[in-house]
Amino acid sequence: MYVQMKICSNNNFGEVMTFGIEIVGKIGSTALVDREGNDIDYNKFARISRSLRPGMLWVSSGATEIGRLDYLKRFGSELNGESDDVKTDYAAQGQAILMQTYRNFIDARYGVRQVLVEHQHFNDAQKRAHIKNLLLRAAAQSCIPIINYNDAVSCEENRKMEIRELLTATGRAVELVDNDETAAQIACLVNAKTLVILTELEGIYRDLSDPQSLITSIGGADADEVIANVDNVKKLCAGASRKGANGAAAKLEYIKPCVRAGTRVIIASAKYDLPDILSGKVPSTNICVGKATDKFSRL
């Protein structure tokens, strides 16, 4: 299962690390929905799915929003009630559709496995090990895991209480507040070579109002220097793609442990094909130890 690979394709330092999974990818809810048609973006699902193969782990948001759209189409109105309850009900309805849609488009030669995780799984060593082994076995068994936070059984108030207790007891806790954090934690768990985070934008910008200000790389001589540069870039980030999301600054914070583990991180637009993103044929922001190609990478 494990192979020797370079830390990053543009690493000039010659360091070699052991990786367990080739690629962990993540896509957000907004990228999977056709806003004009108020429906699932089936073309997006098809393009992503044809690139997935064993050795990849795919973290997919979308269950709650897809469940909302499905309920609206079937009953002509949205649910009323407490926001946590509504989110739970939509997620439970959308999860089956999300998985069915991936199954419809992923190569029939491969198995597809749903993996629903919660914050507690990443704050317990035994549960972490169990999930890690599950994910690593999938590649050897020609299967592709589709991973999502288990919103259908998540209660925000209870989660926050448990996180507070963990912080008091241990001084640290993984919250998995959104799937960007979930993807980063999964990448660290399986020692991924590359983490790809797909968004509606082409990466991280110096100025969101200026399309020419894309930061193409954030590099450094070692992990500490990369993370220092990440912190400098974070100061420029503001806003999020949707209510409840935490935006670019949160993405950059979540990926810090990945950088320390030697994982290459790519933040790119979901409008591009995964092979083109990985090969550098399309615009994106690359974050890893190695030579920086963007002048903003060394502040």
For 34-51, what is each residue's pLDDT tens digit? 988 889 999 999 999 999
Confidence (pTM): 0.85
Both structure tokens of 153: 């059984």
End-to-end Cα distance, the chain: 38
Looking at per-residue pLDDT, the higher value among 239 and 162 belongs to 162
Domain ranges of the chain: 10-297
Residues 6+ apart with CB under 8 A from 270: 27, 28, 31, 32, 44, 48, 198, 199, 200
Contact 59, 89 (CB under 8 A): no
Q: Interior CA angle at 294 toward 288 and 299, to 5°?
A: 85
The one-letter amino acid code at 110 reads: Y
Eight-state DSSP code of residue 290: B
d(CA 270, CA 242): 16
d(CA 287, CA 267): 8
Q: What pLDDT shows up at residue 151?
A: 83
How many other C-beta atoms are found inside a 10 Å radius of the C-beta of residue 6? 17
Hey, what CATH class is 10-297 in?
Answer: alpha beta
Q: What pLDDT shows up at residue 119?
A: 77
Both structure tokens of 112: 């597809």
Q: What pLDDT shows up at residue 136?
A: 95
Nearest to 193 by CA among 1, 20, 47: 20
Looking at per-residue pLDDT, the higher value among 5 and 266 belongs to 266
d(CA 275, CA 123): 33
Q: Is the pLDDT of residue 75 over 70?
A: yes
If DSSP codes are grouped into helix, strand and coil, which group holds residue 213?
helix
202-221 residue pLDDT tens:
999 998 889 899 999 999 99
Give how far Cα 293 sits from Cα of 113, 119, 206, 287, Å: 38, 36, 15, 11
Portion of the chain with pLDDT greater than 70, in percent: 80
